């Protein structure tokens, strides 16, 4: 039976990187003989991304899931999960940091694990994001007693039925979707494997950074969300 996979990409203002990401993944998956599709979960972009997606859908096996209003990162991922039609779902970010060179070693572990997630080595993100993540990871380990080293990594593969099983638990972490996803998987005693991956710099050299004034409320919401998930 031919291997099949849906690639879910949450997208917001990625006009500079999106074609690069789709082209690289398409030709890689085609070479590896995957029946594949791209779920382009665009989320209210204003930089020309919407128009680019229309063009990409004419050239590649893409499904346009654009929205006029923002639904957030997690909302985009969920839209892609529901719309997917293949056996496996691979979720990656659309900024060029998660590329195909790590895919084969991740996919090779799917037969013996429910979920396979990357471990970014090294992590190519701004220092402030890495610091916040390390602090949050301390609380995550305390609550969930896990050996997973990078539970917020946006390079995740599982069968569609596994994603659907976790959906009822994914409303707790608004900004920290993958923290909540892996936390829910631990609660359900799913078998999770983490694999070191190459984490590239963003293709266009920029990143989304929350304003310092917003960080306290985001941190508090995520702490409350994580504790609520653990106690559910």
pTM passes above 0.85 = yes
| Residue pLDDT, tens place only, 72-127 | 899 999 999 999 999 999 999 999 999 999 999 999 999 999 999 999 999 999 88
Q: Could you tell me which CATH number the domain at 4-231 has?
A: 3.90.550.10
Mean of pLDDT values over 154-177: 90
For residue 230, CA distances in Å to 28, 134, 142, 163 come to 38, 19, 10, 18
Taking Cα atoms as reference points, which of 46, 83, 47, 89 lies closest to residue 64? 83
State the Rg of the chain over Cα.
Answer: 17
- Cα 62 from chain centroid (whole Å): 17
The residue extents of the domains of the chain are: 4-231
């Amino acid at each position: 039976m031919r291997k099949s996979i849906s690639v879910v990409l949450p997208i917001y203002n990625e006009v500079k990187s999106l074609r690069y990401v789709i082209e690289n993944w398409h030709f890689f998956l085609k070479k590896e003989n995957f029946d594949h599709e791209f779920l382009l979960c665009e989320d209210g972009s204003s930089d020309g991304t919407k128009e680019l997606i229309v063009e990409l859908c004419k050239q590649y096996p893409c499904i346009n899931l654009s929205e006029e209003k923002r639904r957030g990162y997690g909302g985009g991922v969920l839209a892609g999960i529901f719309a997917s039609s293949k056996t496996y779902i691979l979720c990656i970010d659309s900024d060029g940091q998660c590329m195909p060179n790590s895919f084969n070693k991740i996919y090779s572990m799917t037969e013996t694990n429910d979920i396979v997630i990357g471990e970014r080595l090294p992590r190519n993100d701004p220092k402030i994001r890495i610091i916040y993540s390390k602090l949050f990871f301390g609380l995550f380990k305390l609550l969930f007693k896990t050996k997973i080293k990078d539970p917020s990594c946006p390079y995740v593969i599982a069968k569609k039925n596994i994603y659907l099983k976790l959906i009822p638990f994914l409303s707790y972490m608004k900004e920290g979707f993958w923290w909540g996803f892996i936390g829910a998987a631990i609660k359900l005693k799913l078998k999770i494997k983490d694999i070191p991956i190459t984490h590239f710099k963003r293709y266009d050299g920029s990143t989304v950074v929350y304003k310092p004034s917003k960080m306290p409320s985001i941190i508090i919401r995520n702490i409350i969300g994580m504790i609520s998930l653990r106690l559910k």
